[in-house]
Amino acid sequence: MTRRVVLVVAPFVLLYVSLFVGRFDIAPEDVARMLASLVVSIPHDWPESVATIVLQIRLPRALMAMAVGAGLSISGAAFQGMFRNPLVSTDVLGVSAAAGFGAAVAILLDRSLLQLQAFAFIFGLLGVVITYMLARVYRTTPALMLVLSGVIVAAFFGALLSGAKFVADPEAKLPAITYWLLGSFNASTVRSVVTIVPAIAVGVAGLLLVRWKLNLLSMGDDEARALGVRTEWLKGIVIACATLITSAAVSACGVVGWVGLVIPHVARMLVGPDHRALLPATLSLGASYMLVIDGLARTATAVEIPIGILTAIIGAPFFAYLLRRTSATWQ
């Protein structure tokens, strides 16, 4: 019970903290009053520049971090259940590689940020559509075929991305591509929150709707079908939702690894394997984790650290610890 309360409250506390912590110190009570001013009219006795930092820069960035963290984590959990494999994450169908290539193309073509996000998003979806079609045999999509097709698509788009980097102008565009791929939330604006967070929310809602059926799908295709599950529909829904989330996430902040792999395991340790409890728990943990990581990214050193580096530096050893503790079982 207390665990559930903590899971519900934690992301909101961290959201609040992340609004007053930063390179520019702002008093927590001022942040509270600024937030309150969004809903009720209270006297504005703070400088406009401070309000801009909190409401136009930190708030969108924190909301984006929460949405991406929550979205990648719930997708990872859904995929681990669907593929019955603890080493699977949202990248397994090639979405990140394809989205990364899309972003690189946009940078090569001197497109605006909004267009870059659109490119990344569309290529991400395209990559998964190719994977899905490759994996289709006799009107079914066996898990092994999906994973292998995902490897092929990821390798292919990885090569295209290398090609894009190779032809990029090494003075300006190559660094832009590289930095973008390392991941950052510093491009989060009110506008990108308004476009990207709803896309993630739709995917999350879809996964939450089928969360009990994921328990059945984790029994394997034959058994799930014998229990009356339309397995191809269900897999299609899960893949579509997870891909929507991951494409939107990559388009928002670049490629952020490890979150979708590690957070589901942590959530499973806390609430058990039942996806009815597991998926909501991953939302809370993923959002909280990403707020902490982004907080570190923007405050730990004088220069902002790319998100992808931090998630791997923290995520990989933590995953190693989990692996040693559980010997690769699900407990």
Partner 1 sequence: MAIGTPLVHIRGVTFSYGRREVLKGLDLDVHRGEVLSILGPNGSGKTTLLRCIGGASIVSGGSVRIGDVDVGSLSAPDRARKIGFLFQDHTPTFPFAVREVVIMGRAPHLGIFGSPGPSDAALADEALERVGVAHLRNRPCTQLSGGERQLVLLARTLVQKPDVILLDEPTAHLDFRNQVLTLRIIRSLAADGMTMVLTTHDPNHALWFGGRAALMKDGRFVAVGAASDVITDATLATTYDTDVRVFVVPGRGGKGQSAICSAWHSD
Query: Is residue 33 near partner 1 by the rule CB under 8 A?
Result: no
Q: Assess 299 for contact with partner 1 (CB under 8 A).
A: no
Q: Does 276 interact with partner 1 (rule: CB under 8 A)?
A: yes
Q: Which is nearer to partner 1, 69 or 81 (CB)?
A: 81
Measured CA angle at 33 (ends 32, 35), to 5 deg? 65
Can you tell me which of 212, 309, 320, 325 binds partner 1, judged by CB under 8 A? 212
Residue from 17, 273, 316, 318 that binds partner 1 (CB under 8 A)?
Answer: 273
φ, ψ (nearest 5 deg) of residue 305: -90, 135
Give yes or no for residue 209 binding partner 1 (CB under 8 A): yes
Residue linked to tokens 């924190």: 62
What binding mask, one character per residue, do residues 69-108 give for partner 1 by CB under 8 A, x or -?
Answer: ------------x--x------------------------
**Which of positions 218-237 make contact with partner 1 (CB under 8 A)?**
218-220, 222-223, 225-231, 233
Return the number of the residue (165 or 211) whose C-beta is nearest partner 1.
211
Residue 125 binds partner 1 (CB under 8 A): no
Q: Which residues contact 151 (CB under 8 A, 6 or more apart)?
A: 94
CA distances from 285 to 106, 218, 241 (A): 33, 22, 19
Whole-angstrom Cα distance, residue 45 to residue 29?
A: 12
* Nearer to partner 1 among residue 210 and residue 245 (C-beta): 210
**Looking at 7-15, 22-30, 160-168, 203-211, which segment touches partner 1 (CB under 8 A)?**
203-211
Q: Which residues of 95-107 are buried (b: 16+ CB within 10 A; e: fewer)?
A: bbbbbbbbbbbbb
Phi (first) and psi of residue 255, to 5 degrees: -90, 115
C-alpha to C-alpha distance for 247 and 100, rounded to whole angstroms:
10
Q: Tell the smallest beta-carbon distance from residue 215 to partner 1 (Å).
A: 6
* Interface positions with partner 1 (CB under 8 A): 81, 84, 209-213, 215-216, 218-220, 222-223, 225-231, 233, 272-274, 276, 329-331
